[in-house]
Chains A and B, each alone.
Chain A
Amino acid sequence: MIGVFFLVLLLLVLTLGLTGFSDRILSATIGEQLRGERTALAETIRDPDEMEKVLDKRREELEIFYGLSTPWYYRLPRTVLRVLTLDLGEARTLRSFDGSNRVFDIVTERVPNSMLLLTTSLIITATIGIIAGAYLATRQGSWLDRFVSAFAAVSFAVPTWWIGILLILILSIQLRILPSGGMYSTPPPTQPLARFFDLLQHALLPVITLVLVSFGPSIYSIRTITLNIAQEDHVKIARAKGLPESRVRLRHILRVAAPPIVTGLMFGLAGSLSGSILVETVFNWQGMGRLYYDALAGTPDENVIVALTFIFTLMYVVIRIVLEALYVFLDPRVRYTD
């Protein structure tokens, strides 16, 4: 996972450097600052020639200060080190909810919102998947089983965000049952309980969207895993010992199936993360995904976009490490062999 992290950082540096984007941004910043200083200096310096000389000198100072005088392959790694310590710079136009322009503030206040959406839908999907998957494994070949595998195949062909748009169109525009976007009503309720229910109401559609698209494949993969394990010898032995069926399912099938299920979740994670970026955009959910959309629309905010890409990768890596730890916990073989 550390390798992933470094590859992403390397790609960030190469794209920023090789395209000259970083240089352009810096010279724009310097130009802006010089323009500000020129008006200030115009008060004291009257002679235009002297003015130019002073400004040129100032430009050189600024270029050294911002590192534009050094080539990007020296400068950018240093920037990366800075970013690694979560010193993310300042946003151009975007502000955090309480008005800060520090990218760190803007991004971090949205992390919980994103996590709320992502983990809720992930847990619901996994729960449905385990319950329905384990059930379907006992009904192999039934019409329900065939239906679920067809449904799973269709799910791969459907863009999550479009389902979100459809749900808005049907449930909130036509039928007016649920709010079409945002996280709270305006004005938000002040009472904690009412506020919670308001949040719940607003979270319903995005969560439904994320679950709707991912629960089919989840059931299908868990069904297949369970089915493979149910045919193994130790299950037959457990049954032959006369253990109650529920115990066989829980202790001898599901328990053994747990590690590969977690692996499946790990592989699905990147997809859910991408899905949630777009779903947040559709539902105006104030998470990191929506921030991407806001940072891209109108005048793009480079610092925010760089920071978001970084934080997203970081978040992804962290969740992966948590899942991997869970895997080690669930699979004794991994623990004992090393």
Chain B
Amino acid sequence: MSTANALRELLRSGPGLAGTALMVLLFVVALYVLLAFPLDFGESQWSNPVVWVDNPKAVPPVWINALRGGTRPPHHVFEGTEPHTVQTARSGPVHTWRFPFTYDSSHPPTFLAVTLTDVNYAERPPLLLISLKRPDGKQLRIFRHAVRGPREDESGPFKRYAQTPLRVQLSTDEATVSAVQEFVADEFGLRLDGAQIGGRVDRILFGVPGDEADEEFAPLTGDYEIIIQAALRAEGDSVGKVRFVVGGAVFGWMGTDSLGRDLARGLLFGLPVAILIGISAALLSTAIGTTLGIASGYLGGRADIAIQRFSDIVANVPVLPLLIFMLFIIGPSLWIIIFILVAFGWPGLTIQVRSMVLHMRTNQLIEAIQSLGASRRRVMFRHILPQIAPYVLAQLIFAAPSAILAEAGLSFLGLGDPSIPTWGQILETGFRTGGIYVGYWWWIVPPGLCIVLTALTFMLLALGIEPIVNPRLRQPAQ
């Protein structure tokens, strides 16, 4: 059967079509990830808490609001480099950034945080002021920060917050708490002490006091504006980047884990890794299995006996305990995992290929080629291999899911490669940190679904190919 015909037949069968479509989809996504993500994503981003510091922790995905009809507050990040307006005051230029946004959630933000990067000044340090303008017209200053002045033995120009940006969590900042205290006293005539405000800064800033109980603040929805001002002392002084975060209780397409990591990114990166594991383990073990199977079946004699004995033993080794043991001793590494999966994955195919070759050895074509004086190697690889190749291909695709599942299981036991995030590892953190017992389903369900989907794609493809390459399963023509 020609390749084109085989392909047509593959696409005609249900599983074949579904498997091919899914496989194309997976490869497109994997290719996108490889191009869009840095290759050291695991080390430089995933395991680096600094990257995720401004994300809300352990929150569900954004679409949960539409699904459950809730109004969990969305996550807002405002970032500015070039100032929106520049005025000149007596003390020097004033750079202003204005970030308007509409807040319509019935819950307060989960946190407020400001980050300041790359401040340069010639002589006197600049002053940073942040105000919040509320829908009811009230405005209050929530943050005031004087950049650290020159040290004794330091000479200008001075650079601040270049390597480590200044990050302040306003919700717990003492100065902000007292600013809020003043604000409620002036505007609403409420006398609250620090303890009453602590932990409720966001609720008060984004709310108005309720009717009867002055403890309660009802949420105030409408248009807010965050105004960030940098009072610079000289022309040429600058603030590189300001960033203001209004923490939400939903995040992205897939939510976040307890470290605030964007699960969508982790899940995306897991795809090329899973495909790599599946294909490389399957490819290598199939290559070994086929070679040994052909050799065993064609050469016969002592080589046959030796190979059969050996593959019989290896086929019966309980792999998981051994995998755990070896990874524990050698250290967790993706390559070791693949290596061991290959080392124990070949015998099944060897036994099958051998029996096919045994049948083939006696057929006239092979006999004719032998009598022409072809070398044994030539017969095995030029004449026998092409005949069993389609069958081997189906087995190759069948072998991929088990490698993916094995890696996931090992990662789940905490033996995953720490430098490369995989779906199993995401599940492991969700399980180990107890995310499962508090019902963080968005952390537990999607990685498993990804594993199932990828493994299933290979399975469907193999099921579609099998009847084509295995004549016994081919359905009679209708």
Chain A residues packing against B (C-beta within 8 Å): 1, 3-4, 7-8, 11-12, 15-16, 19, 21, 153-154, 156-159, 161-162, 165-166, 168-169, 173-174, 180, 270, 273-274, 277-278, 281-282, 292-293, 296-297, 300, 302, 305-306, 308-309, 312-313, 316, 320
Beta-carbon contact of A15 and B409 below 8 Å: no
Kindly state whether residue B456 has any CB partner on chain A within 8 Å.
yes
Interface residue B1 (Cβ < 8 Å from any Cβ of A): no
B316 is an interface residue with CB less than 8 A from chain A: yes
CB distance from A318 to the nearest CB of B (A): 12
- Chain B residues closer than 8 Å to A166, beta-carbon distance: 444-445, 448
> Does A8 lie within 8 Å of B459, measured CB to CB?
no
Minimum Cβ distance to chain B for residue A145 (Å) = 15
Assuming the contacts A154-B459, A292-B324, asked whether A162 and B318 have C-beta atoms less than 8 A apart, the reply is: no
Whole-angstrom distance between the alpha carbons of A153 and B464 in the complex?
Answer: 12
| Residue picked from A166, A273, A274, most chain B C-beta under 10 Å | A274
CB pair B459–A153 under 8 Å, yes or no, is yes
Task: Please give, as numbers and ranges, the residues of chain A lying within 8 Å of B330 by CB-CB distance.
Answer: 15, 19
C-alpha spacing A298/B458, complex, angstroms: 36
Asked whether any CB of chain A lies closer than 8 Å to the CB of B431, the reply is: yes
By the criterion CB–CB under 8 Å, are B409 and A273 in contact?
A: no
B455 within 8 A of partner (CB): yes
Point out the residues of chain B lying under 8 angstroms from A308, CB to CB.
321
CB <8 Å contact, B439 and A174: yes
Decide yes or no: A180 and B427 within 8 Å by CB, A156-B455, A165-B448, A308-B321 being known contacts: no
A300→B415 CA distance, assembly (Å):
12
Q: Is B401 an interface residue (CB 8 A)?
A: yes
Q: Contact at A173–B436, with CB atoms within 8 Å? A: yes
Whether the pair B444, A169 counts as a contact (CB closer than 8 A) is: yes
Most central of A159, A161, A274, A306 by chain B CB within 10 Å: A159
- 8 closest A-B pairs by CB: A157-B455, A274-B320, A162-B448, A312-B321, A3-B313, A157-B456, A309-B325, A316-B318
B413 touches A274 (CB 8 A): no
Cβ-defined contact, A274 with B439, below 8 A: no
Q: How far is the CB of A224 from chain B (nearest CB, A)?
A: 11
Distance (Å) between the CB of B17 and the closest chain A CB?
Answer: 14
- Which residues of B line the A interface, CB within 8 A? 15, 309, 312-314, 316-322, 324-326, 328-330, 401-402, 405, 408-409, 412-415, 427, 431-432, 436-439, 441, 444-445, 448, 451-452, 455-456, 458-460, 463
Query: What are the residues of chain B within 8 A of A309 when measuring CB–CB?
Result: 321-322, 324-325
- Shortest distance between the CB of A259 and any CB in chain B (Å): 18
Tell me how far the C-beta of B329 lies from the nearest C-beta in chain A, rounded to whole angstroms.
5
A270 touches which of B319, B401, B436 (Cβ 8 Å): B319
A15 touches B437 (CB 8 A): no
Is the pair B325, A274 in contact by a Cβ cutoff of 8 Å? no
Q: Separation in Å of the B327 CB from the closest CB of chain A?
A: 9
Q: What residues of A have a CB within 8 angstroms of the CB of B452 in the complex? A: 154, 157-159, 162
- A173: chain B residues within 8 A (beta carbon): 436-439
Residues in chain B near residue A168, CB distance under 8 A: 436-437
* B409/A270 in contact, CB under 8 A: no
Contact of B317 among A4, A15, A158 (CB under 8 A): A4
- The reply to whether A165 and B317 contact each other, CB–CB distance below 8 Å, is no
CB distance B401 to A159 under 8 Å?
no
Contact of A293 among B318, B325, B413, B436 (CB under 8 A): B413
In the bound assembly, the distance between CA atoms of A270 and B317 in angstroms comes to: 8
Tell whether, in the assembled complex, residue A154 and residue B456 are in contact, meaning their CB atoms are under 8 Å apart.
Answer: yes
Chain A residue numbers with a CB within 8 Å of B402 are 156
Q: Is the interface of A mostly helix, strand, loop or mixed?
A: helix
Contact partner, A159, options B325, B326, B329, B405, Cβ 8 Å: B405
Instruction: Name 20 interchain pairs, CB-CB below 8 A, sorted by A.
Output: A4-B316, A4-B317, A7-B314, A153-B460, A156-B455, A157-B459, A159-B408, A159-B409, A159-B451, A161-B409, A162-B408, A165-B444, A169-B439, A173-B438, A274-B319, A274-B320, A296-B328, A309-B322, A309-B325, A313-B317
Given contacts A162-B448, A169-B436, A282-B431, contact A19 B329 (CB under 8 A): yes
A306 contacts B325, CB within 8 Å? yes
Separation of A1 and B309 alpha carbons in the complex (Å): 11
A4 touches B313 (CB 8 A): yes
Instruction: Determine the residue in chain A with the shortest Cβ distance to B14.
Output: A150
Complex Cα–Cα for A277 and B410 (A): 11
> Which chain B residue lies CB-closest to A296?
B414
Do residues B326 and A15 form an inter-chain contact, with CB atoms below 8 A? Answer: yes
Known A159-B409, A161-B412: A169·B455 in contact at CB below 8 Å? no
Determine how close the nearest CB of chain B comes to the CB of A14; give it in whole angstroms: 10
Choice from B313, B325, B414, B459 contacting A305 with Cβ under 8 Å: B325
Residues of A within 8 A of B328 (CB): 296, 300, 302, 305
Extra inter-chain contacts (8) besides given A296-B413, A305-B325, CB under 8 Å: A7-B314, A19-B330, A158-B455, A169-B445, A273-B320, A274-B321, A302-B328, A309-B322
Question: Which chain B residues border A4 with CB–CB below 8 Å?
Answer: 313, 316-317
* A296/B324 in contact, CB under 8 A: yes
- Closest chain B residue to A3 by CB distance? B313
Contact of B451 among A162, A292, A296 (CB under 8 A): A162
Which A residues touch B455, using CB under 8 A?
Answer: 156-158
Return B308 CB to nearest CB of chain A, in Å: 12
B244 CB, nearest partner CB in chain A, Å: 36
Complex Cα gap A293–B428 (Å):
11
B426 nearest CB across to chain A (Å): 11
Q: Please report the C-alpha to C-alpha distance between residue A158 and residue B444 in the assembled complex, in whole angstroms.
A: 14
Chain A residues lying within 8 Å of B321, measured Cβ to Cβ, are 273-274, 277, 292, 308-309, 312-313
Is B409 a contact partner of A11 (Cβ separation < 8 A)?
Answer: no
Tell me, in angstroms, the Cα distance from A153 to B452 when the chains sit together: 11
B427 surroundings in chain A (CB, below 8 A): 162, 165
Q: Contacts A270-B316, A296-B413 given; indicate if A16 touches B329 (C-beta within 8 A).
A: yes
Q: Are B318 and A156 in contact (CB under 8 A)?
A: no
Q: Is the CB of B439 within 8 A of A15?
A: no
A297 to B409, CA, bound (A): 15
Min CB distance A311 to B, Å, is 9
Q: Whose C-beta in chain A lies nearest to the C-beta of B316? A: A4
Write the nearest CB–CB distance from A271 to chain B, whole angstroms. 9
Q: Which of A3, A277, A296 contacts B312 (CB 8 A)?
A: A3
Pair B459/A156 contact, Cβ less than 8 Å: yes
Give the docked Cα–Cα distance between A173 and B15 (Å): 35
Q: How far is the CA of A154 from the CA of B451 in the complex (A)?
A: 12
- Docked CA distance A300–B328 (Å): 9
> In the complex, which residues of chain A have a beta carbon less than 8 angstroms from the beta carbon of B441?
169
The chain A residue sitting closest to B440, CB to CB, is A169
Question: Which residues on the A side are within 8 Å of B326 (C-beta)?
Answer: 11, 15
From the candidates A156, A180, A281, A306, name the one contacting B401 in the complex (CB within 8 A). Answer: A156
Contact B401 A305 (CB under 8 A): no
Identity of the chain A residue whose Cβ is nearest the Cβ of B454 in the assembled complex:
A157
Which residue in A161, A270, A278 is a CB contact (below 8 Å) of B318? A270
Complex partner residue of A180 from B313, B437, B460, CB under 8 angstroms: B437
**Cα of A12 to Cα of B448 in the assembled complex, Å:** 32
Q: Which residues of A contact B415 (CB under 8 A)?
A: 296
A91 to nearest B CB, angstroms? Answer: 15
The residue that A277 contacts in the complex, of B320, B401, B438, B458, with Cβ under 8 A, is B320
Q: Which residue of B lies closest to A312 (CB)?
A: B321
A283 CB → nearest B CB, Å? 11
Rounded to whole angstroms, the CA-CA distance of A273 and B324 in the bound complex is 13
Query: Given A3-B313, A156-B455, A309-B322, A165–B431 Cβ distance below 8 Å?
Result: yes
